[in-house]
Amino acid sequence: MRKLKNEELDRKSIAEFKAAKKIPLSLILDNIRSLNNIGSVFRTADAFLVEKIYLCGITATPPHRDIHKTALGATDNVAWEYAESAMEVVQKLKEKGVSVWAIEQTENALPLNEFEPQVMIPHAFVFGNEVRGVSQNVVDACGQGLEIPQYGTKHSLNISVSAGIVLWDFFTKTKLDK
């Protein structure tokens, strides 16, 4: 087995990425404090052709060297928008018929492995602050939560790890080539 070289990976150019069909998914980052986490989410969103990222509250926006360090240029590819309030974004998206889910440990949260997205309906996932999670008012506005089942002692994951798991799950369940 031989490790592939970068030029063998058939990567899209920025123009090709922007023109490519995206999965019907947006991400809402609710008061994320770590710029490295923000950059990692951008990079993961690039990998799985996410439509858009909403950066809300204290979540920093590009350009910033600490975001760039982990995003590796994905901030140039993935569409993004800043909003003061994640609540406003959730309400706006729901009014447009988007199925909005809090990625959070809540009462009656659906385990991610049981989640079956409706392929024809656009979705949005809200990821919360590293300490406090998704704001309660935003959880209430979503009305539905997804939880990543965990079996160890910590019962928490870094937001960028959570994003990777949830995006991969959604991507595999709604593949563009289906």
Classify residue 98: in a domain, yes or no: yes
Question: Which pLDDT belongs to residue 56?
Answer: 98
Classify residue 3: in a domain, yes or no: no
Question: Which pLDDT belongs to residue 176?
Answer: 62
Question: Which pLDDT belongs to residue 66?
Answer: 96
Classify residue 9: in a domain, yes or no: no
Provide the 10 A C-beta neighbour count for residue 122. Answer: 18
Q: Give the sheet arrangement for strand 110-111, strand by strand.
A: 79-83, 50-56, 23-30, 123-128, 99-103, 145-147, 110-111
Question: How many helices and strands (H and E) does the chain possess?
Answer: 6, 7
Query: Which pLDDT tens digits describe the chain residue by residue (178 residues)?
Result: 999 998 899 899 999 999 999 999 999 999 999 999 999 999 999 999 999 999 999 999 999 999 999 999 999 999 999 999 999 999 999 999 999 999 999 999 999 999 999 888 999 999 999 999 999 999 999 999 999 999 999 989 999 999 999 999 999 999 865 4
Classify residue 2: in a domain, yes or no: no
Count of domains in the chain? 1
Classify residue 6: in a domain, yes or no: no
Q: Which domain holds residue 63?
A: 20-149+156-172
Please provide the size of the chain in residues: 178
Classify residue 1: in a domain, yes or no: no
Instruction: Give the ranges where 7-135 is alpha helix by DSSP (H).
Output: 14-19, 35-47, 65-71, 86-95
Q: Report the C-alpha gap between 62 and 81 in whole angstroms.
A: 10
Which DSSP symbol is given to 177?
Answer: T
Classify residue 85: in a domain, yes or no: yes
Q: Domain containing 129 — which CATH number?
A: 3.40.1280.10
Classify residue 63: in a domain, yes or no: yes
Q: Report the C-alpha gap between 127 and 168 in whole angstroms.
A: 15
